[in-house]
Structure 1
Amino acid sequence: MGIHPKYFDPHGVYKTLDDLQNHLEISHHISNPKNKIVAVGECGLDETAMTAIDQQLFVLQKQIDLANRFHLPIVIHCRGPHLYQKLFDCLKSRIPDKNFPLHWHCINSNSDLHTIDLFLNQYPNSYIGLNGSITYGNNTEKFHKFQNWLINRSPFLSERLIFETDYPYLPPQNLHGKYDPPTALIATAIYLSKAVTDSDENVYSYIHSSNINIKSLYNL
């Protein structure tokens, strides 16, 4: 549960933050783990939002503080390559604990991959989310750069990845124009395996690793 940078009213943000805190407080005292909130987010920075970046940054900082207080992982959202470093700097200043669990959502060819490398090194218990958007942009320079980035990180990629759908958005290319069903995870995994190893023989291994990582990150 969290406050997306694109969908909050800056005039009512204090009430929204109070509501979030109240929900987290209630969840914190629930004994059955199946009924608890498992993370804060997705939260972050978005260049397409109507609100100013400084306002988004303020809301992000408050949510990081809540995640720290309630010992919950954070799901990070960042849209706009020029915002990645700003968001990463915010994480470093607000989260000194390098073992803090983080999930940087929706990494693809439009991401600032240099900053993602810094993020993965800074927080060894962090993960990157891969969804259908990794299939977009065939034959572009950015796409090939991203593909090479995945290949170069293949020795440890399975330890740091989480497959996600961003339902109902961002379906894999072969489902473009349709909603993004949960089964799209398989299409994303097949695409990743072929991109990294030029075969689909590692699909099961990648999905299995993702499931393990999800359970570890979210204490499921």
Structure 2
Amino acid sequence: MFKNKFHLNTTTVGIGGCRLNDTSNCSYEFQLFIFKCQLKLAAELKLPVVFHNCGINSFEITLRELKLHLNNTHKIHWHCINSKSDLNIISNFLNYFKNSLIGLNGSMTTPYDNDSKRIFNNWLLTQQDILDRIRIEADFPFLRPSTLETNQYNPISGITTGAQHIVNMLRIKKLNATKIIDRSNNNMRRMYGIN
């Protein structure tokens, strides 16, 4: 963790790479220490923060730490939300942090089991103004949508497949994958303050 003291011709738009991972070789205590440092830095610099969790056990701790270190208007992007996520925690997150986004990618199309997929799709349908709260992500080369062969998967096909899945699920008149991607891009611009 460091602050850039150099004069570069770049703009920092967020704090990224934050995560708690149940499967990591690093101790959970060390991961939590780093996560807290990143959140404190994001608060101090008033920068958006992007992160994701690996493992269901970290969702509640993550939300607690977010509420402890960031105010409810802070811009937060919770990456890689899918049917394996703790959806109650994600709902609480979206309700508490009004400027937050959730990232959806090909992993939401992968049927870990039909019940989980149905629950996730129904959950997504019940979220208020969900199109203003999502960011379509490829996460290439990881999390390939199950509908794509390995040789078909690239960042563009990943984003398009994710967007089409949302179109198929929401069934809103005159909504198509291009409009979902445009909305997602606008959400990202708003989150990170970029053009």
Normalised by the size of structure 1, how large is the TM-score? 0.81
How far 1:49 moved relative to its partner? Answer: 0.5
Aligned-partner residue type, residue 35 of structure 2: L
- The residue type equivalent to 2:176 in the other structure is N
Equivalences, count: 193
Say yes or no: does 1:166 pair with 2:147: no
The question of whether the paired residues in 1 share the 8 Å contact of 2:43 and 2:69 is answered with no
1:105 aligned to 79, 83, 89, which one? 79
Q: Which amino acid aligns with 1:130?
A: L
Maintained 8 Å contact 2:49/2:76: yes
The root-mean-square deviation of aligned C-alpha atoms, in Å, is 2.0
Q: CA deviation at 1:175?
A: 2.1
Q: Secondary structure at the match of 1:173?
A: coil
Asked whether the 8 Å contact 2:20–2:28 carries over to 1, the reply is yes
Distance in 1 between residues matched to 2:129 and 2:172, nearest whole Å: 17
Q: Which residue of 1 aligns with 2:50?
A: 75
Paired amino acid for 1:158 = L
CA distance in 1, matches of 2:81, 2:61: 16
d(CA) in 1 for partners of 2:174, 2:113 = 20
Query: Equivalent residue for 1:48?
Result: 23
Structure 1 window deviating more from structure 2 (193-202 vs 203-212): it is 193-202
For structure 2, the 5+ residue unaligned runs are none
Offset of residue 196 of structure 1: 2.0
Q: 1:157 aligns with which of 130, 146, 150?
A: 130
Distance 1:138 1:190 in 2: 19
Q: Is structure 2 residue 93 aligned with structure 1 residue 93? A: no
Aligned-pair CA distance for 1:198? 8.0
Deviation at 1:204, TM superposition (A): 2.6
Higher RCO structure (Cα 8 Å, ≥6 apart): 2
Identity of aligned residues (%): 32
Task: Tell me the residue number matched to 2:160.
Answer: 186
- Provide closer, same or farther for how the CA distance between residues 143 and 150 of structure 1 changes in structure 2, counting only shifts above 3 A: same
- The two structures have a TM-score, normalised by structure 2, of 0.91
Q: Which runs of 5+ in 1 are unaligned?
A: 1-16
